[in-house]
């Protein structure tokens, strides 16, 4: 069945965060001054087990979910992730199974993930020079490690590979054309993301946002572009292809051109909180259902009730009234 929310938006995509931990401290996501040595991450027994995640995924699929994305934190820091990939891949109705990673641990795991049934992968890479990239990831990881992870994903047959770059004015916006140039003609699609006000710790200000139109204009000046129709209804990234046929790029415009009206995504946190918006201020706790003997039908009924009541459209109503809201951190529920 297909479950619709209060605006008639179907439940099609489920993003599953398997951990709130990460080996990077990206300034726009997990700034070190907040997520430092004293920060209390979730204890292991608080995390959903792979069996619990798989059970919930089956129930989500019954409500119309077709696409699954594994996120974090950094999902590859959780042990034996390929086991979860294998279990989800075996669920009838899952048409697309992918993962978002910072790429630093990908060399050692790419083949195992592909063998388990992972279809494709998205890698975060915000610049191609070490000075800019290491200043942003704040973990001392050079670009070469991430590029090697991308190479490992290619060797494992994960395709298409996408590269996500968060663009922040005065930090890495002068490096966007370099990213486009490097991956042009490679079959890898770079997606440039407007710096978003996710969570409450990344110091977001509107003046730090580089509008997607400006990003496109800068790249178009070097490599002429033309717009492309979406691959499917509700696709997040707006597509642009090189006029000479050497591939395409995407832009994600949550700030300047919100796409709430076509949003079909639910997000599951590592400890079992269901969020119906990336900018959510509260979740709906599914863990008690899992650990107190609830049936699949009881869980399904609750999930359906939550989704049918969904009226989220944060990016469309972003204003002075939404400033200061205590929103869930992106590192907790993924992008």
Residue 199 pLDDT: 63
Q: What are the pLDDT tens digits along the chain (335 aa)?
A: 899 999 999 999 999 999 999 999 998 889 999 999 999 999 999 999 999 999 999 999 999 999 999 999 999 999 999 999 999 999 999 999 999 999 999 999 999 999 999 999 999 999 999 999 999 999 999 999 999 999 999 999 999 999 999 999 999 999 999 999 999 999 999 999 998 776 666 666 778 899 999 999 999 999 999 999 988 777 889 999 999 999 999 999 888 888 788 999 999 999 999 999 888 888 999 999 999 999 999 999 999 999 999 998 877 776 555 566 666 787 888 76
Phi, psi of 30 (to 5 degrees): -130, 65
Q: How far apart are CA 260 and CA 234, in angstroms?
A: 9
Write down the residue that tokens 């069996």 correspond to: 51
**Burial readout 149-168 (b: 16 or more C-beta within 10 A, e: otherwise):** bbebbbebebeebbbbbbbb
Q: CATH for 13-333, among 3.30.360.10, 3.20.20.70, 3.30.465.10, 3.20.20.370?
A: 3.20.20.70
pLDDT at 97: 98
Q: How far is CA 162 from the centre of its chain?
A: 11
Distance CA 301, CA 232 (A): 28
Sheet with 161-167: list strands edge to edge.
225-228, 238-242, 248-252, 189-194, 161-167, 120-124, 96-101, 67-71, 13-17, 265-268, 273-275, 284-285
Task: Locate the domains of the chain by residue range.
Answer: 13-333
- C-alpha–C-alpha distance, residues 319 and 321, integer Å: 5
Q: What is the pLDDT of residue 81?
A: 98
| Distance, CA of 7 to CA of 5 (rounded, Å) | 5
pLDDT computed for residue 131 by the predictor? 97
């Amino acid at each position: 069945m297909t479950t619709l929310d209060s605006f008639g938006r179907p439940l099609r995509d489920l993003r599953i965060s398997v951990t709130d931990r990460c080996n990077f401290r990206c300034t726009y996501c997990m700034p070190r001054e907040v997520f430092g040595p004293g920060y209390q991450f979730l204890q292991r027994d608080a995390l959903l087990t792979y069996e619990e995640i798989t059970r919930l995924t089956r129930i989500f699929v019954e409500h119309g979910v077709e696409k699954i994305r594994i996120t974090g934190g950094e999902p590859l820091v959780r042990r034996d992730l390929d086991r979860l990939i294998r279990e989800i891949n075996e669920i009838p109705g899952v048409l697309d199974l992918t993962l978002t990673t910072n790429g630093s641990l990908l060399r050692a795991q790419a083949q195992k993930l592909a063998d388990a049934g992972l279809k494709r992968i998205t890698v975060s890479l915000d610049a191609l020079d070490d000075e800019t990239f290491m200043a942003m990831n704040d973990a001392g990881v050079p670009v070469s490690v991430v590029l090697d992870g991308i190479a490992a994903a290619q060797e494992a047959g994960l395709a298409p590979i996408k590269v996500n770059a968060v663009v922040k004015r005065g930090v890495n916006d002068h490096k966007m054309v370099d990213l486009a140039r490097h991956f042009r003609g490679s079959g890898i699609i770079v997606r440039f993301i407007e710096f978003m006000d996710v969570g409450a710790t990344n110091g977001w200000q509107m003046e730090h946002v580089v509008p997607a139109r400006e990003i496109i204009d800068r790249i178009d000046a070097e490599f002429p572009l033309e717009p492309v129709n979406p691959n499917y209804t509700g696709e997040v990234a707006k597509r642009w292809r090189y006029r000479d046929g050497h591939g395409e790029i995407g832009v994600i415009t949550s700030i300047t051109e919100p796409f709430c009206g076509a949003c079909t995504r639910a997000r599951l946190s590592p400890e079992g909180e269901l969020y119906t918006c990336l900018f959510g201020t509260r979740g709906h706790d599914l863990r008690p259902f899992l650990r107190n003997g609830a049936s699949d039908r009881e869980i399904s009924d609750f999930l359906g009730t939550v989704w049918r009541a969904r009226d989220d459209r944060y990016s469309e109503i972003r204003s002075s009234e939404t400033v200061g809201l205590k929103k869930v951190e992106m590192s907790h529920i993924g992008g």
